[in-house]
Amino acid sequence: MRKSASSVQPSSRPAPSDTRLTHLPSNPKEAKPQEDDRVQFFLLLEDLTAGMNKPCVLDLKMGTRQYGLEATEKKKKSQRRKCQSTTSQQLGVRLCGMQAWNVKKQEYIFEDKYFGRDLKSGREFQDALTRFLYDGVSYTSVAKKIPIILEKLAVLESMIRRLKRYRLYASSLLILYDGEQAAPPPNPSHQTENPTNGSKSKDGHNNVDVELKIVDFANCVTGEDEIPPDTPCPPHHPNDIDRGYLRGLRTLRIYFQRILKEVTKDEFLERGEGEGIATGAQPADVPDMPSNQFWDDNVMEQDVGEVSF
């Protein structure tokens, strides 16, 4: 027999007396830690490529030192050998991985950390950066991205120069962009055309966007960290800024400026002489002279001030 509504007895469980449970903020930024044993702390992971149709990512290991404060002697020697045999020591940056979308072939190109370890400074390193930015169709795709990268590198460099006692040992700098962006809605009154910079919005900015993100902080040191006297591998100049990281940023700035100057030359764009760069092979009939006009490999060797250990 079905019970009537009046026969249903109220629950014997007591109502919660903690008013905090009934007044939780809807905005996470307004939430504050409560004095409660149940509070736990977590790391929140973010997908940096979320929303991208064809995510293109360049992983750059930054700095001239790749081991942390607690590294063993074996680890220290291993990482020093790796830095000395790659571009890390000279340039302050090493390519650790690359994924780029070729619009013409409708396929990705990939490079791993072993490719990056074999790269030499100068032309080889420049070509790798160019391949990452090139869409397989036109070198204006490279020219449009570089001004954005240079602007964000300048902001990052300015920030790092103010962070005394900080060390970003073994961290990476990711450069990301969407290799197949959705076409913006047509609105002629809000766009202008420029043969080098491509379509621009009314405020003069390129429709293409490039992100720079610092990741991998396991071996980093902050200015608030107290370094014990018995630390196995302390910074040699603990009160200074991270000059090894700055060396890497300076390298990237110089290389991207060099690439921009090269790809915006009319004869380079018209003749398509950079096609071999994008496919990983330098054509036999393309001389190295254009790069040599804009680059002096000795400039990095002479700048001993931007190194930290």
Higher pLDDT, 129 or 297: 129
Give the whole-number percent of the chain exceeding pLDDT 70. Answer: 66
Domain residue ranges of the chain, discontinuous segments joined by +: 55-297
Per-residue confidence (pLDDT) for residue 38, from 0 to 100: 77
What average pLDDT does range 34-60 have in this prediction? 88
Tell me the pLDDT band of 31, cut-offs 50, 70 and 90.
Answer: low
191, pLDDT greater than 80: no
192, pLDDT greater than 70: no
Per-residue confidence (pLDDT) for residue 36, from 0 to 100: 64
For the stretch 73-122, pLDDT in tens is 999 999 999 999 999 999 999 999 999 999 999 999 999 999 999 999 99
151, pLDDT greater than 80: yes
Rounded alpha-carbon distances, angstroms, from residue 9 to 6, 12, 13, 108, 186: 8, 9, 12, 65, 64
Across the chain, mean pLDDT equals: 80
Angle between helices 243-263 and 123-133 (to 10 degrees): 70
Tell me the pLDDT band of 208, cut-offs 50, 70 and 90.
Answer: confident
The CATH number assigned to the domain with range 55-297 reads 3.30.470.160
